[in-house]
């Protein structure tokens, strides 16, 4: 209901894909989102009013944008743990450099984008040229960037950017008929999501997915894998920058504003059915994962669950969601790979390899199929699994 009437960008596309994806594990996140939204509406009917709902979308926008950025990194087979620090750094930069001088807004905004791209470039080059695992490279960037930001401000972030700049995060187009106000954050989210969907469908976007699926074949097919991988880190840092611009308006300047964003983003992406280790997943599902996560928090709020239990419920939900997707996907893939007529075999732990323990994509994805050591992929599988994706 409300999910369908959402002024989401890809409304038509989503409606068309809905029936197709809901039955698959990849669509589980949409099913989860609908269930959560219905549950919230039952507890609090006013939530379904358009003006209330658009506020919800506005609140989710930064998280969803960060999740979209993280999607490209994860689907390319890596992690970006530095996103939270990038968000904090950008918020502090906006607060300190713009100050009350509204004329500085545009130059500083450009500087922030350049800074975000630069951070992503550094991350990417450390991963691709120095061959440091992305987990470690971005962990180092997370520590260094947050430390540098706090050092710069002396630990207590001060200063607010001019109201004109904050308007991006908290203002909107007012006096609209049904929804009263169309927040700029929602517009930005829609634009980012459209861009992401378009980008993921481009050959370059497909190369990212291929890179996550099997780096060897991508290299043999002549792609500049170092540049493709570096660009994913630049995308994620840029998305963290955009989220920072929205957050500085919505939440103000605070040194802990970006704390935990990297894990929230990874959780949302994984909730969206994107496989850690890369090669599999849909960017819209990743954004839907962010919506599902926030809807979950909203539901717990309305249900009167103490806020301290939020984390516990979040933990349980992500384990269950990933377990559901993992076991179902594996069952299907096993059937397909072996060309067996019964694709619905549920996995029996004793006879199956525990494939999900490894973040390595090649091992994970071929586990059920065969034991061949050479990582030449089965093209058929790649096509089937990433088709709807992007």
**Residue 173 DSSP class:** E
Among positions 43, 313, 337, 338, the unique one binding other proteins when judged by CB under 8 A: 313
Q: Whose Cβ is closer to other proteins: residue 99's or residue 140's?
A: 140
With binding defined as CB under 8 A, does residue 270 bind other proteins?
Answer: yes
Minimum CB separation of residue 92 from other proteins in Å reads: 12
With binding defined as CB under 8 A, does residue 319 bind other proteins?
Answer: yes
Site for other proteins in 244-263 (CB under 8 A): 263
Site for other proteins in 57-76 (CB under 8 A): none
Indicate the helix (H) or strand (E) that contains 32.
Answer: helix 28-43
With binding defined as CB under 8 A, does residue 322 bind other proteins?
Answer: yes
Give dist(CA 239, CA 314) in Å, integer. Answer: 24
Give dist(CA 157, CA 149) in Å, integer. Answer: 9
136-144, 175-183, 291-299, 335-343 -> range binding other proteins (CB under 8 A): 136-144
With binding defined as CB under 8 A, does residue 133 bind other proteins?
Answer: yes
Q: List beta partners, residue 172.
A: 183
With binding defined as CB under 8 A, does residue 300 bind other proteins?
Answer: no
100-108, 208-216, 230-238, 288-296 -> range binding other proteins (CB under 8 A): 208-216
Burial class (CB within 10 angstroms; exposed 0-12, middle 13-18, buried 19+) of 357: exposed
With binding defined as CB under 8 A, does residue 130 bind other proteins?
Answer: yes
With binding defined as CB under 8 A, does residue 310 bind other proteins?
Answer: yes
With binding defined as CB under 8 A, does residue 371 bind other proteins?
Answer: yes
**Residue 345 DSSP class:** P
Among positions 15, 42, 114, 148, the unique one binding other proteins when judged by CB under 8 A: 148
Minimum CB separation of residue 252 from other proteins in Å reads: 21
Q: Which of 171, 159, 169 is nearest to 97 (CA)?
A: 159
Q: Which of 365, 120, 326 is nearest to 231 (CA)?
A: 120
Minimum CB separation of residue 278 from other proteins in Å reads: 10
Q: Which of 330, 277, 268, 300 is nearest to 25 (CA)?
A: 330
**Would residue 278 be called left, alpha or beta, if left means φ above 0 and alpha means ψ between -120 and 50 degrees?**
left
Which single residue is written with the structure tokens 């699926």?
213
């Amino acid at each position: 209901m409300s999910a369908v009437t959402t002024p989401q960008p890809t409304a038509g596309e989503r409606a068309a894909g809905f029936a197709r994806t809901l039955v698959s594990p990849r669509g589980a996140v949409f099913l989860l989102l609908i269930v959560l939204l219905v549950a919230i509406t039952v507890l609090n009917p006013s939530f379904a009013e358009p003006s209330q709902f658009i506020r919800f979308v506005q609140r989710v926008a930064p998280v969803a944008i960060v999740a979209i950025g993280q999607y490209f990194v994860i689907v390319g087979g890596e992690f970006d743990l530095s996103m939270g620090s990038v968000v904090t750094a950008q918020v502090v930069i906006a607060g300190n450099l713009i100050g009350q001088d509204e004329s500085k807004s545009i130059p500083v905004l450009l500087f922030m984008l350049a800074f975000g791209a630069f951070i992503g470039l550094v991350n990417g080059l450390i991963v691709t040229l120095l061959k440091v695992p992305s987990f470690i490279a971005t962990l180092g960037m997370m520590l260094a960037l947050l430390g540098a930001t706090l050092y710069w401000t002396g630990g207590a972030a001060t200063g607010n950017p001019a109201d004109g700049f904050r308007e991006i995060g908290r203002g909107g187009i007012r006096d609209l008929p049904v929804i009263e106000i169309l927040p700029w954050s929602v517009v930005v989210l829609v634009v980012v999501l459209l861009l992401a969907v378009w980008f993921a469908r481009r050959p370059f976007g497909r190369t990212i997915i291929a890179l996550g699926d099997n780096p060897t074949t991508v290299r043999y097919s002549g792609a500049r894998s170092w540049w493709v991988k570096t660009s994913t880190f630049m995308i994620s840092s840029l998305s963290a920058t955009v989220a920072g611009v929205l957050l500085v308006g919505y939440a103000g300047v605070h040194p802990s504003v970006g704390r935990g964003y990297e894990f929230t983003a990874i959780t949302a992406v994984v909730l969206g059915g994107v496989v850690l280790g890369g090669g599999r997943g849909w960017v819209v599902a990743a954004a839907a994962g962010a919506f599902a996560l926030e809807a979950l928090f909203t539901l717990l709020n309305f249900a009167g669950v103490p806020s301290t239990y939020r984390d516990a419920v979040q933990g349980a939900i992500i384990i269950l969601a990933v377990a559901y997707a993992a076991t179902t996907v594996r069952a299907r893939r096993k059937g397909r790979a072996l060309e067996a007529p019964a694709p619905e075999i549920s996995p029996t732990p004793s006879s199956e390899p525990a494939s999900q323990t490894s973040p390595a994509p090649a091992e994970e994805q071929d586990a059920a199929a065969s034991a061949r050591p050479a990582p030449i992929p089965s093209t058929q599988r790649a096509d089937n699994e990433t088709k709807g994706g992007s």
